[in-house]
Amino acid sequence: MSQPQSLTVGSLLQLFSLNGAYNIGFSFLFGMSLWVTFFGGVIAYRALPRQQFGTLQHRTFPIYFNLSIAGSAGLLAAWTYTHPAVLAHAARPAVADVAQAYALASVLVLQALNSLVIGPVTSKTMFLRHKLEKEEGKAYNEPGVSDAMKALNSKFARLHGYSSLANLGAFIALTFHGLWLGNYGI
């Protein structure tokens, strides 16, 4: 059994370290991803009219994606700095430290793809669909919508699927990294 540790000013100051910052950063990124992916959107979808929900997502997702990019970039830099094997064995993903760097890099790439490519095109498509709904006087899912609406529906569904898949991939990568940290530490 370990001995109880006494808290001193010195021991409290040691809490402010790269490892402490890493744990806080990972916790923030994982918690944010968990909330946005599985809870926040579902709650908003159920609570808001569809067009207001779309506008909310259009405004919050860029912030979420950019925080994910910044957080994963910071974690990747810290991980690479504290694990020299990453650079020495970068082409060998079976090396555990490299696999963790790949997980963090995949979060960065997937969320950058969402932020810079998929998200803007999805939002543009959504707003075009909103505009066409007003012009036609019909909701996107009513019978008898125009071929243009059907094409926008198909495009939006495809883009939304890509975005969701990229976001889920990033969440899975963060979960893998979190399980690693929980079992093996930083």
If we measure between CA atoms, which residue out of 175, 186, 180, 182 comes closest to residue 30?
175
pLDDT of residue 11: 87
The answer, yes or no, to whether residue 105 has pLDDT greater than 80, is yes
Q: At what angle do helices 50-82 and 119-136 cross, to 10 degrees?
A: 180
The answer, yes or no, to whether residue 158 has pLDDT greater than 90, is yes
The answer, yes or no, to whether residue 39 has pLDDT greater than 80, is yes
Is the separation of the CB atoms in 66 and 115 below 8 Å? yes
* DSSP conformational letter for 92: -
The one-letter code for the residue type at 46 is R
Four-CA torsion 59, 65, 71, 72, nearest 10 degrees? 180
Domain boundaries along the sequence of the chain: 16-184
The answer, yes or no, to whether residue 1 has pLDDT greater than 80, is no
Cα–Cα separations (whole angstroms), residue 38 to 31, 32, 60, 144, 185: 11, 10, 15, 33, 26
Is the separation of the CB atoms in 26 and 181 below 8 Å? yes
pLDDT of residue 66: 98
- Determine phi and psi for 130, rounding to 5 degrees: -60, -45
Maximal C-alpha separation, the chain: 74
CA separation for the pair 4, 132 (Å, rounded): 67
The answer, yes or no, to whether residue 159 has pLDDT greater than 90, is yes
Give the predicted TM-score (pTM) of the model: 0.92
